[in-house]
Amino acid sequence: MEIFTSWSSWAQAEGPVSKALPPGTTESLRDAVAFARAQHGVQQRPTGRPYVEHLLEALEVAVVGAELADRDVLVAIVLHDVLEDTPCTEAEIARRFGAGVAELVRWVTRPRGVAKVDYLSSLVQAPLHAVFVKLADRVSNVQELQRMPWRFQRRYYLETVAYIMPLAGAHPWFARWFGEWRTRWHPRVERLSAY
């Protein structure tokens, strides 16, 4: 199972991105990373690391792992949490990055007041490109799940198996990655459930 943690800054991502993608897409991603960094500010991941690292991991998953090249999908991956976690609006995303990116980010944003289970269940209706955004996000979140408290590990594993893995069939690379991940994690979750 591949782990995607090589890009903790745009400086580390830019070289591989520019080799894999057209110059215009690389420029859009540079702008998106700067925008996301400004929007998320001092927010941190639960591990205490800067939040932008999660966004770059998800981008690395998409570019290096799944070999996605669609500009809107990749920019949406970088921006996927700005509506949910910052004051940024969908209109602002549309102005800066286009209506297509804004729509993808909206699809992967849990609306305020909607239960997480209901939001995750609704993703089966999402357009394919929005599904790719969510899958890249979740690979980043679960690839090192062992760093989280064990109760969170169990809940997040079960949530991923129930709601995210069914979406992975939309792309062979994601299907394979999540299959390997589940094989690796299932025995661990069984042990955690015994406590």
CB 4 within 8 A of CB 57: yes
27, 67, 84, 190: which one is catalytic?
84
From residue 146, alpha-carbon distances to 23, 46, 56, 153, 188 in Å are 37, 12, 20, 7, 9
Look-up of token digits 């993808």: 104
67, 85, 118, 190: which one is catalytic?
85
Judge whether 85 counts as a catalytic residue: yes
The burial class, CB within 10 Å (0-12 / 13-18 / 19+), for 24 is: exposed
Judge whether 14 counts as a catalytic residue: no
Question: Residue type at 147?
Answer: R
Residue 180: strand pairing partners:
none
Q: Distance (Å, rounded) from C-alpha 170 to C-alpha 59?
A: 18
Q: Distance (Å, rounded) from C-alpha 171 to C-alpha 69?
A: 13
* Residues catalogued as catalytic: 84-85
